[in-house]
Structure 1
Amino acid sequence: MRVSERQGTLRLALIVLLTGLLIATRAPATARREDPGRIDTRTYTSGVLTYTYEAFVPDDLPTDPALVVMIHGCKTTAEQQRRANLLDPIARRDGFVVLYVDGSPFHLLQQRCWSGLLTPALESRTSGDAAAIAAMTRITIERYHVDADRVYALGMSSGAYETTLLGAYFPDLFAAIGVHSGAAFDHGALGCVGPYLPTVPTEQLAAQTLSAEGRNRRVMPVIGFHGDADPAVPYECGRQVIEQWRQTDNLLLAPHGIPPQPTSTLEGVADVPEGHSYTVETWQQHESDCPTMQLWTIHAMEHYWSGGSADPDAAEFTDPRGPSASRAAWDFFSHIRRTDTGFRCE
């Protein structure tokens, strides 16, 4: 069998595996009362692919608002993600725009998974889904007069794999990233879907990330979320996300970097009926007023968005017994402003 044939067979096998393992969703819920604001839906064409995307824009939008780019997982649409994770009410309350990116018709062939999961080697600053999402982000920044130093990316499942690529290839665009149930930069599905079989040492991934950042390299703040009972993307992969970015950032911060052990640890229980217990580990740089890294471990949670809608139409997508990942991510992002070398706390 030729190399190209083997690659094609492997790609098909991965898609079949992901179909069974990664999260399934139902059709969007019947229309209900929306939070005050509007949904703007548009398309973006990159080469032969036409992507769709929608933005939630609060009615009372301040001057120079922040922007959160939300990237859905496999077998999910932007609209389903928007209804499930309940970012819109937070955006309305605090006055920021949320961009929900979606794939192209081609992505239907890979179960709506982003290519950062299946073929990360084909992604770059100028190619693949990463480049398309960055372009949609820039269009949104211009359209809504977004503060360019307060742009954040947040991904779920295959969207989380894509988010780690965005952080590496576009540190000059995204001030911070959030990775929910995903894996480290360039890790891909092999070893981080199903059983944990790491294929590349974390130290090597950290160095590859710094190389991908190129001349735009800077300290990248990262928040991670992962259920420790996740059968689809191993919990160890979620922990590796934080360690990979800690090591990458330390290549810039040496000799006074981010310590290997958390600077603080918090135990809690989600304030909902039968709420999951969780652990929040935080890493801070010396003399920093806000975290550089944070990992939320949701105990006994499987492959779901933590918190979010309890509507039956979201039941196969969210676990409302967990703490709100949307609220925690925004709390983390809202204090961070991008600078040329890293970030400033606000």
Structure 2
Amino acid sequence: MRVASLRLCAVLLLMAACLLSGAPGAHAQVKKRCFTNDAGTRCYYLYVPHGDSAGEPLMVYLHGCDDPIAHPLPSGFSLIRVADEMGFVLAYPIQDRGSNKGLCWNWDKAGHQRRGEGEPSIIAGLTTALIDEFHLDRDRVYLGGYSAGGAMTTTLGATYPDLYAAIAPMAGAPYLTRLEARPIIDAMGPRARPLPAFFLQTLFDEISNIVIGRTNLTQWLAADNLADPGSAPVLPTDVQVLAVGPGVPIPLTVEHYASPRGCELARFTLPVLAEHAIGAGFVQQEHGLEIQRDLMRFLLSHRMPPPHQTC
């Protein structure tokens, strides 16, 4: 009996060691921290892959309303694995229930839609603080999010184009819920430039529907052309039909929008047989890893352009 027990313990220890060795960042940890400025306090999860982070990129991801992964993060948040694979620092701000009962980012409320105000100020301040603390690459800083997080990403893209090299407003909404592009350019002000953007929109999304997704894409491409006339095509320059990933029999189309200079200014990914919650899984859970890798390949391919130059 004693020998059998020892053997069982040995097997369990071996299994645990295998699991740990295969886990993302076996020696790295997800840490919860908080950031405060004049606009308020928001806590966030931080993942720094093992090793020296100096000169590495930063990805800031904004969750959707009442996202169960956010409370607490992040046993199932697979973008951590992608951070290990591709070598970037990952920050995951979390909304405060006192600021929004549904844990939505307040992208649609006055006071949270302009530079230097409200939640955009907090998220941008958090981003800048991390860049300084970990000596990250200021030219490779990215922001993305899904649903309410996608809509707030749109807001940050318009208000802080000098901070984020590229953005991923997924299943979100156009800036100020407007159709025309002028509000984006007005918000950018003297910092106006074409801003590369990755979009993901499920075909049967019942919350941020396909019309909203197309409007978001159209608004950004039009803003790119206002910032730099002729920089962004109206129609895709290439279209692919792919599968979501191994073992997920859901087709998706990927539209590429490249500038005449060869820079891809937008990518529109459309999983066909999916709705809002399924789309959230594609960008946050293990079965969507291929989409997450494609997302980060797109973002990481862009750097902040030098002054007076565009993508």
What is the TM-score of this pair, normalised by structure 1? 0.77
Deviates more, 1:122-131 or 1:43-52: 43-52
Counterpart-to-counterpart distance in 2, 1:150 and 1:165 = 19
| RMSD between aligned residues | 2.0
Could you tell me which of 58, 79, 83 is aligned with 1:91? 83
Provide Cα deviations, 1:17-61, integer angstroms capped at 9, x if missing partner: xxxxxxxxxxxxxxx855212223211223473210121000024
Deviation at 1:143, TM superposition (A): 1.2
Counterpart-to-counterpart distance in 1, 2:285 and 2:289 = 12
Identity score, percent: 26
Unmatched tracts of structure 1, length 5 or more: 1-31, 188-199, 311-319
- Determine if the alignment matches structure 1 residue 171 to structure 2 residue 161: yes
Deviation at 1:186, TM superposition (A): 1.4
Q: Give the aligned partner of residue 335 of structure 1.
A: 301
Unmatched tracts of structure 2, length 5 or more: 1-18
Deviation at 1:287, TM superposition (A): 2.4
Counterpart-to-counterpart distance in 2, 1:73 and 1:119 = 16
Q: 1:342 to 1:292 in 2, by over 3 A?
A: farther
Provide Cα deviations, 1:246-305, integer angstroms capped at 9, x if missing partner: 000101221x331211000001122322421000001111022x4111100110111132
Instruction: Read off the aligned partner of 2:113 and give its amino acid letter.
Output: E
Counterpart-to-counterpart distance in 1, 2:44 and 2:309 = 29
Where does 1:44-59 land on structure 2 (aligned, <5 Å)? 44-47=35-38, 49-59=40-50
Provide Cα deviations, 1:82-139, integer angstroms capped at 9, x if missing partner: 44441111111221100101123423x43100000x3156421111111110001011
Q: 1:342 to 1:110 in 2, by over 3 A?
A: farther
Counterpart-to-counterpart distance in 2, 1:274 and 1:105 = 34
Q: 1:82 to 1:212 in 2, by over 3 A?
A: farther
What is the TM-score of this pair, normalised by structure 2? 0.85
Deviation at 1:238, TM superposition (A): 1.1
Counterpart-to-counterpart distance in 2, 1:96 and 1:247 = 30
- Determine if the alignment matches structure 1 residue 213 to structure 2 residue 214: no
Deviates more, 1:45-54 or 1:175-184: 45-54
Provide Cα deviations, 1:211-258, integer angstroms capped at 9, x if missing partner: 00011111100010010011111111111111101000101221x331
Work out whether residues 72 and 81 of structure 1, in 8 Å CA contact, stay in contact via their aligned partners in 2: no
Work out whether residues 149 and 338 of structure 1, in 8 Å CA contact, stay in contact via their aligned partners in 2: yes
Q: 1:70 to 1:81 in 2, by over 3 A?
A: farther
Aligned residues: 284
Q: 1:70 to 1:341 in 2, by over 3 A?
A: farther
Counterpart-to-counterpart distance in 2, 1:91 and 1:179 = 19
Where does 1:1-346 land on structure 2 (aligned, <5 Å)? 33=20, 34-36=23-25, 37-47=28-38, 49-76=40-67, 78=70, 82-107=74-99, 109-116=100-107, 118-119=108-109, 122-187=112-177, 200=178, 202-203=179-180, 206-254=181-229, 256-288=230-262, 290-304=263-277, 305=280, 306=282, 308-309=284-285, 320=287, 324-339=290-305, 340-341=307-308
Counterpart-to-counterpart distance in 1, 2:210 and 2:110 = 20
